[in-house]
Amino acid sequence: MKKFLAVLMAAMMMFTMIGTAGATSLAGTYDITVWVAENAVELTKTQIENFNKTNELGIVFNATVEAVSEADAATQMITDVEAGGDLFCFAQDQFARLVQAGALAKLGVKAAETVSAANSSGVVAAATAGDTMYAYPLTADNGYFMYYDKSVIPEEHIDSLEALIADCEAAQKYFAYEMQTSAWYLAGVFFGTGCVSEWTMDEEGKNFVSVKDTFNSPEGLIAAKGIEKLVKSPFHLSSSSGSEFASGAAIVVTGTWDFNNVQGILGDNMGVADLPSFEVDGKEYHLGSFNGCKLMGVKPQVDAVKAAALHQLAQYLTGEQCQLERFEALSWGPSNLNAQASEAVQANPGLVALNAQAPYSVPQGQIHGSWWDIAKVIGDDIKAATDEAGLQQALDNYYDKIAALFKLDNNALLFVGAWNGWNNADETDTFYFKDGVLTLDVPESDYMGGRIVNPGKWDTDKGFAQVVTGAELIQDLGVEANPDNNIVFAEPGNYTVTVNGSEITIVKN
Amino acid sequence: MKTYSDLEYLKLSKGKKFLYKISRFFCSIPQKILGLFVALWNLIKKGCSKVKEEAVDIFSTFVNGDWKTKVSFLVMGFGNIARGQILRGLLFLLFEVVFIGYMVLAGGYWLSMLPSLGKVGPSEEYDFVLDAYYTVYNDNSFKILLYGVLTIFFIIAFIYTWRVNVRQNKLAEQILAKGKKLKSGKDDLRSLVDDQFHKTLMALPLTGILIFTVLPIVFMILVAFTNYDGAHDGYYSNLFGWVGLDNFNTMLNWNVNSGGSVQSYAATFGEVLSWTLMWAFFATFTNYFLGMFVAMAINKKGINLKKLWRTVLVLTIAIPQFISLLYVSKMFAKNGIINGFLMSMGWITEALPFWEDPTWARITVIITNVWIGIPYLMLITTGILMNIPQDLYESARIDGANPWQQYTKITLPYMLFVTGPYLLTSFTGNMNNFNVIYLLTGGAPTNPAASSAAGTVGYTDLLITWLFKITQGAESQYYLASVVGILVFVVVALISLVVYNVLPSIKNEEDFQ
């Protein structure tokens, strides 16, 4: 069915191609709205002017550039897509929401190839949902590190969280690390002890189908103890604003965007460093972090010609030249590989600190929108905890909330086949392996076959070749008749299928 | 419970009298609610009999009417025109033509789509030559719901007009049978500025209220029965559809979403509601009594510079709340000016948890609200206090009443009588006091056990700020926000009904005349 559809689609596209062969020229004037961060408004205006002058396609944009912060863009888009900017910039964590809300246009095939080749792999993954690229990488510096006041913090202490907390308490100065109001900062601690939270989307990129999350584990408990040290200090401040240096902070964990701000406040006393380590039960754990990026998206258009023209502009604005201009004017770290290699970028102190943190940072893939709300509460929960059981309770709460929101299984597998209409979406609870075990009714049909896949995928994860026990219950059709390695039952009935590592056991009930 | 006769009641001690009154009040609540249902039932019964009456009347008009009347059942206004009331007839006819035209051209479509809220969602197409994706948008659930409701309004208006048309035929026949003359178009126009002037005046405001108030409210209520959210915006992402009572089940069922230690929505709702009521109570009465106290203090003879004190207090009103509240929020922050001052004076060694600890945060918002609220109350009560006849106090003093007795026996009853309705509105207003809570704490500190699928919920969140957070949360669950909105309405309506009926100003209208 899937293949038939594909052929049909291809045929239809051929017709479309013939039909629209006349509309190849993009030349024309387009009225568009562009949303960028406030400090980038003037620069973007100039860049669009440059595009109008230099492009060889005859495209002229009559652009209205509006200031909308990258943190708000998604909410504003989702509230009213119609009134949203044709081009808009947003932080990576909002990507999944925007795709689900139908507020991002897919990149064309050629554009996707060009952009993938020109940018670092992490940011390309950030702009991709399922198998589809939906946005243009704009920066690659959305990570965080530590700024500190050299007059308060001695340099030899910057590697130890405990020493830093003690210094702050002694000096009655604040340690600003946004642990209670932002999952983005909080999750780094868990990554530092080896926990993961990895989310998988279906091929279309519209739905999340599985998650591997180990925050609620012995390693997670170690991370919780690390967070506890920080949030229970009376001089911890849950903030990530560089301006806190002006109101009594000695340390602020934030990113490159605050560089000029902090330098303005601290002057020569400003120090930057990668995040410190914390100690639990005699063992050191370096604080981890997220590294993400900012993206530029194109709003879906009704008119294919305008859409194509907008994509040309987006490609230009996120290209090497514009990224370098932005680096020079605003210190935004480029995602473009050529731009990253330039000397000026290599020497920037903020980016140097970010690079020092890089070995401990985790690329921020696609994450379920609700995760941010669920995870950020951990900090408050840990603060309220009075003993280790309380810490464990915080992690349990977190786990339960994700489980309530989403099927949580660290080895998510589905059995797709004739019995569920070859459905590989996550809604098919009945065909979902829980702890590796699935009991299934095989109905009488012409082809009583199927295979074990990861949710949202069609490729066989496990199949005929992996069946070790119960081979007599299934048919051996040979590789030619069964290229997909399907498991084909000999007769209908109720079966229990168990997956253990790479071995499958089938028992008839 | 035991009911005392008047004599027995008078024998009780003061405390017992009070307790007796309170328990009477609570005991009467079930009865009052029952009364409400009885009233509702009577209303329905009355409505049914009214509809029956109308039907019988319409039927008899048709059977007994002449041919002009009979044709009017189909062609509105025909009877009027045939009997010489051209203007009226033409208006009826025009309305019918417009209605039929609208229903054929648009209304029929909206109405037919209303049960499904749209059939075809948006689809993404690929242009091979341009190598670009573009989108074809189809049905729009949002518009279907909006215009569907509007169409139903229109149909109701049409049925009403049709009924008026039928009745006019009957009346015309009766008038003609008595040998009197019918009103001409000129008479009709004249009456619009004469005996029918109220209709002329009310036409515009009523239409406005219908379109800008009633229609949106109906629309918002209906959203609670759909799955309208960020991923189903009805046009750009996915269509949305009816889900029946599912959302109410999610919000009110204690067992939903209670995986392990996480609260169900119902539990979260209960917690937020109890704090909302607590907040409304304290916010209203602290302001009320402290405001009155300040007004009395300033009014007192022998206080100098009265105008200065009043001006100083009114300054808080002069600064927009958006600014002053955000500033106060910063002042009480962990590294804010207040903690900084206390620490530099050496009175505390670590910051006080004004916004971090649930109880501290709740008390701080109430106190901040006192600071904002007192000036308003002072202004309101100053005028009323001056209005209390001084001879009452004079005679009380002669009888030997001390200031406290004067306050409880004269000032307070008078104040309660005059400001009772104000207290009620300010109580309901405080229940929905979005500004103070949102700008001061944003709902913080977070309640970790509360379900956060719909945005995080904090210990200082009111229902109204929670509602806002739900719409702004990762999933933008407008449907759930709508459910909360409806529940807020129910709570406010219940409280208002009960309290309104026990207000002295309503119960003893004659007291202070």
Identify the CA nearest to A47 among candidates A58, A27, A57, A61: A61
**Confidence check: pLDDT of A461 > 60:** yes
CA-nearest residue of chain A to B455?
Answer: A373
Asked if residue A413 has pLDDT above 60, the reply is: yes
- Mutate which: A90, A165, A400, vs B, most B CBs within 10 A: A400
Q: Residue B334: helix, strand or coil by DSSP?
A: coil
Please give the pLDDT value at position B259: 47
Same domain, residue pair B349 and B470: yes
Backbone angles phi, psi at B313, to 5 degrees: -70, -40
**Per-residue pLDDT at A253:** 94
Measured CA to CA, the distance from residue B206 to residue A377 in angstroms comes to 48
Domains of chain A by residue range: 27-140+292-341, 143-290+366-405, 414-508
Q: From residue A16, how far is each of A12, A420, B110, B124, B174 by CA, in Å? A: 6, 34, 32, 13, 70
Mean of all residue pLDDT scores within chain A: 85
State the amino acid at position A401 in one-letter form. K
Integer Cα distance of A246 and B169 in angstroms:
82
Q: Which residue of A has its CA nearest to B478?
A: A79
Reported confidence tier of residue A19, pLDDT bands at 50, 70, 90: very low
CA distances to A122, A336, B129 from A292, rounded to whole Å, are 8, 14, 34
- Asked whether residue B427 falls in the same domain as residue B347, the answer is yes
Question: Tens digits of per-residue pLDDT, B304-315?
Answer: 888 898 888 888
| pLDDT grade for A42, boundaries at 50, 70 and 90 | very high
> Hey, what CATH class is A27-140+292-341 in?
alpha beta
Residue B353: both structure tokens together: 């948890």
Total structural domains within chain B: 3
Judged against a pLDDT cut of 80, whether residue A407 lies above it is answered with: no
Q: What is the pLDDT of residue A125?
A: 87
CB-based contact A200:A367 (threshold 8 Å): no
Residues 411-470 of B with CB under 8 A from A: 444-446, 448-449, 451-453, 455-456
Q: How many percent of chain A have pLDDT more than 90? A: 35
Q: Are residues B370 and B496 in the same domain?
A: yes
Contact (Cβ atoms closer than 8 angstroms) between residue B128 and residue A15:
no
**Chain A residues closer than 8 Å to B233 by CB:** 78, 81, 101-102
| Interchain CB distance below 8 Å, B448 and A174 | no
Q: Is the pLDDT of residue A416 over 70?
A: yes
Radius of gyration of chain A (CA): 26
Which chain A residues are Cβ-neighbours of B343 within 8 angstroms? 172
Q: How confident is the model at residue B225 (pLDDT cuts 50, 70, 90)?
A: very high
B236-255 residues touching A, CB cutoff 8 A: 236-238
The dihedral of CA B78, B84, B88, B94: what is its sign? positive
Q: State whether B143 and B288 are in the same domain.
A: no
Q: Are residues B276 and B306 in the same domain?
A: yes
Q: Give me the helix-helix angle, A369-384 and A218-231, nearest 10°.
A: 60
* Model pLDDT for residues B80-113, shown as the tens digit of each residue: 999 888 999 999 999 999 999 999 999 999 999 9
- Six-digit token string for B335: 């590294």
| Residues A497-501, mean pLDDT to the nearest whole number | 82
Question: How much of chain B exceeds pLDDT 70, in percent?
Answer: 96
B474/A372 Cβ within 8 A? yes
Same domain, B4 and B91: no
Q: Quote the domain boundaries for residue B155.
A: 70-244
pLDDT tens digit sequence for A296-317: 999 999 989 999 999 999 999 9
- Buried residues in A299-308 as b, exposed as e (16+ CB within 10 A): bbbeebbbbb
The type of residue at B66 is D
Query: Do the bridges between strand A449-453 and strand A414-417 make them parallel or antiparallel, or are there none, so unpaired?
Result: antiparallel
* B134 with A307: Cβ contact below 8 A: yes
Distances in Å between the Cα of B309 and the Cα atoms of A118, B286, B293, B304, B312 are 69, 20, 14, 9, 5
Cis peptide bond upstream of A455, omega within 30: no
pLDDT value of position B154? 93
Suggest the residue from B135, B329, B347 to mutate for an interface test with chain A (most A CBs closer than 10 A).
B135
Q: What is the pLDDT of residue A1?
A: 44
Nearest 5°: phi and psi at A198? -115, 130
Residues B379 and B406 in one domain: yes
Contact yes or no for B133 and A307 at CB 8 A: yes
Give per-residue pLDDT as tens, B101-154.
Answer: 999 999 999 999 999 998 888 888 888 888 888 888 899 999 999 999 999 999
Q: What is the mean pLDDT of residues A221-246?
A: 91
Q: Report phi then psi at B437, rounded to 5.
A: -70, -50
Instruction: List the beta bridge partners of residue A213.
Output: A197
pTM of the model: 0.80
Q: Which of A327, A325, A181 is nearest to A240 (CA)?
A: A181
Average pLDDT, chain B: 88
Confirm whether B320 is domain-assigned: yes
Give chain B positions within 8 Å (CB) of A378.
448
pLDDT of residue A176: 94
Task: Give me the mean pLDDT over the A13-39 stretch.
Answer: 72
Domain end (from B42, B64, B86): B64
Q: How confident is the model at residue A22 (pLDDT cuts 50, 70, 90)?
A: very low
Token pair in block for residue B263: 């609260």
How close A228 gets to chain B, by Cα (Å)? 15
Q: Are residues B460 and B372 in the same domain?
A: yes
Report the chain A residue with the minimal C-alpha distance to residue B346. Answer: A172
Interchain CB distance below 8 Å, B453 and A370: yes
- Are residues B208 and B239 both part of a single domain? yes
A423 pLDDT higher than 80: no
B194, B211, B244 - which closes a domain: B244
Other CB atoms closer than 10 Å to residue B430's CB: what's the count? 23
B477 touches chain A (CB under 8 A): no
Helix axes B321-331 and B358-387, enclosed angle (nearest 10): 140
User: Looking at the structure, do residues B359 and B411 belong to the same domain, yes or no?
Assistant: yes
A270-273/A249-254 β-pairing: unpaired
B482 within 8 A of B407, measured Cβ to Cβ: no
Q: Do A304 and B449 touch (CB under 8 A)?
A: no
Higher per-residue pLDDT: B387 or B161: B161
**CA–CA distance, A360 with A362 (Å, rounded to integer):** 7
Q: Does B260 contact A at CB distance below 8 Å?
A: yes
**DSSP 8-state class, residue B398:** H
Q: Give yes or no for a contact between B414 and B327, defined as CB atoms under 8 angstroms apart.
A: no
* Amino acid present at B183: K
At a CB cut-off of 8 Å and minimum separation 6, what does A231 contact? A179, A180, A238, A379, A382, A383
First to last CA, chain A: 31
Q: Residues A103-117: pLDDT tens digits?
A: 999 999 999 999 999
Q: What is the b/e burial string over A458-491, where b = at least 16 CB atoms within 10 angstroms of the residue's CB?
A: eebebbbebbeebeebbbeeeeeebeebbbbbee
Say which residue, B32 or B62, is predicted with more confidence.
Answer: B62
Nearest CA in chain B to A95: B474
CATH code assigned at B432: 1.10.3720.10
The answer to whether residues B354 and B228 belong to one domain is no
| Structural domain includes residue B433 | yes
Instruction: Judge: A101–B230 Cβ closer than 8 Å, yes or no.
Output: yes
The reported pLDDT for the residue numbered B511 is 61
What ipTM was assigned to the predicted interfaces of this complex? 0.74
Alpha-carbon torsion A116, A121, A124, A125, what sign?
positive
| A143-290+366-405 CATH pick, 3.40.50.720, 3.90.1420.10, 3.40.190.10, 2.60.40.10 | 3.40.190.10
Show the beta-strand stretches assigned E in A27-86: 28-36, 59-67
Centre a 10 Å sphere on the Cβ of residue B448 and count the other Cβ atoms it contains: 25
Give the mean model confidence (pLDDT) for residues A476-485.
82
Considering the domain architecture, whether residues B51 and B83 belong to the same structural domain is answered as: no
* Cα–Cα dist B388/B471, whole Å: 48
Mean pLDDT of B416-444: 89
Q: Which of residues 319 through 378 in chain B touch A, CB cutoff 8 A? A: 334-336, 340, 343, 349-351, 356
Nearest chain A alpha carbon to B343? A172
B443, B473 contact by CB (below 8 A): no
Beta bridge partners of A417: A450
Nearest to B453 among A393, A396, A404 (CB): A404
Q: Which of B137, B474, B475 sits opposite A302 (nearest CB)?
A: B137
Q: Is residue B189 part of a domain?
A: yes
In chain B, what residues touch A400 (CB-CB under 8 Å)? 259-262
Which among B122, B129, B259 has CB closest to A400?
Answer: B259
Residue A446 has pLDDT above 90, yes or no: no
Which residues, at least 6 apart from A31, have a Cβ–Cβ distance to it below 8 Å?
A: A62, A64
Residue in A311, A74, A9 with CA at minimum distance from that of residue B124: A9
Q: Return the closest-CA partner of residue A287 out of A158, A399, A407.
A: A158
Best interface-test mutation with A: which of B335, B360, B469, B477 has the largest number of A CBs within 10 A?
B335
Cβ pair A420, A471 in contact under 8 A:
no
Please give the average per-residue pLDDT across A252-278, as a whole number.
91
**Are B330 and B414 contacting, i.e. CB atoms less than 8 angstroms apart?**
no
Pick the residue with more confidence: B100 or A486?
B100
Query: Residue B207's CB: how many other CB atoms inside 10 A?
Result: 10
Is B124 at the interface with chain A, CB within 8 A?
A: yes
Question: What are the tens digits of pLDDT across the range A76-134?
Answer: 888 888 889 999 999 888 888 888 888 999 999 999 999 999 998 888 988 988 888 99
